[in-house]
Amino acid sequence: MSTTFQLETSTSRANPTPRPMKRLTVPKIRTRKTDGKTGEPLVMLTAYTARQAQILDRHCDLLLVGDSLGQVIYGLPSTVPVTLEMMAAHGAAVVRGSYHAVVVVDMPFGSYEASKEQAFESASYLVKQTGAAAVKLEGGAPMAETIAFLNQRGIPVMGHVGLTPQAVNVLGGYAARGRTDAEAETIVGDAKALDDAGAFAIVIEGVVEPIAIEVTRSVSCPTIGIGASSQCDGQVLVTEDMLGMFERVPKFVKKFESISEVIERNVAQYAQEVRDRSFPGPEQTYQPKD
């Protein structure tokens, strides 16, 4: 989908240029249902900082401030320890750095499961603190009532079924889901329940391809795959995984670059030039005026 950009002159790191003239909206995302046949798939990537958002924004329909930041940014063993305050800080940065994509913020573990009232308090906090357009929460049919509750109070919700990382301790790991008839039936039922509750899109993670296709055909809202199927209505990856910042990544990740090698090579060159005193050179040194 083409985007009209308005060129601006800016020296501020907080204001990217060129700047899109109008941000996409949740209702527009909701209409991007393709069923794997027609229409342009949705593009979503994770973003955690303003500068990252600036670079990704023009290419993406959605930017997800994922709770994956717990592992990617903070080096935590899982997403479980991530807090609302962490999500709010990074969500606000991504909103400030973007002008085109719909920004969605993950609701962290423990911030919405107790009750729909707790979910509204947490979600409204995130929306007010960040300026994001929507929140995302994990879970199937048991979360349907909560999604409907949030929708009725003005907070759009993206659902998440299949492999749900916040439930890793219950699931026993990060293995693909839907390999048994029982799992497959549960995943399809979960997606339908979230769709009926008003989710504007549903992430399908780590699900065998036939089940991802069945879910996509069974719901009226767009599906966004991650380790699912190219026949989903869109795709998402963790940006750092896609760019090759980490050596170990899930099977479903395609590394489009090896940025870690680029960074290490440049850092090594910097270190060498500091040690041999060739940096800073005349170009980087201030001298008295004549």
- Write the pLDDT tens digit of every residue in 24-38: 999 999 999 865 556
Helical H segments across 153-223, by residue range: 168-171, 181-197, 209-218
Interstrand relation of 234-237 and 42-46 (parallel, antiparallel or unpaired): parallel
Q: Is 68 assigned to a binding site?
A: yes
**Residue 271 falls inside a structural domain:** no
**Residue 163 falls inside a structural domain:** yes
**Residue 252 falls inside a structural domain:** no
Q: Is 67 assigned to a binding site?
A: yes
**Residue 190 falls inside a structural domain:** yes
> Of 19-23, 40-44, 89-93, 98-102, where does mean pLDDT reach its minimum?
19-23
The enclosing domain of 151 has a CATH number of: 3.20.20.60
Domain that holds residue 101: 26-243
Burial annotation 102-121 (CB, 10 A radius, 16+ → b, else e): bbbbbbbbebbbeebeebbe
How many domains, in total, are found in the chain? Answer: 1
Q: Is 138 assigned to a binding site?
A: yes
User: How large a percentage of the chain has pLDDT more than 90?
Assistant: 80
Question: How far is it, in rounded angstroms, from Cα 98 to Cα 213?
Answer: 31
**Banded model confidence at residue 11, pLDDT cuts 50, 70, 90:** very low
Question: How far is it, in rounded angstroms, from Cα 56 to Cα 188?
Answer: 32
Mean pLDDT, to the nearest integer, of 45-59? 96
**Residue 229 falls inside a structural domain:** yes
Model confidence over 97-115: pLDDT tens digits? Answer: 999 999 999 999 999 999 9
Residue-level pLDDT at 37: 56
**Residue 266 falls inside a structural domain:** no
Question: How far is it, in rounded angstroms, from Cα 254 to Cα 45?
Answer: 13
**Banded model confidence at residue 248, pLDDT cuts 50, 70, 90:** confident
**Residue 152 falls inside a structural domain:** yes
**Residue 17 falls inside a structural domain:** no
Catalytic residue (one of 205, 214, 247, 257): 205
Residue-level pLDDT at 10: 41
Say whether 117 is catalytic: no
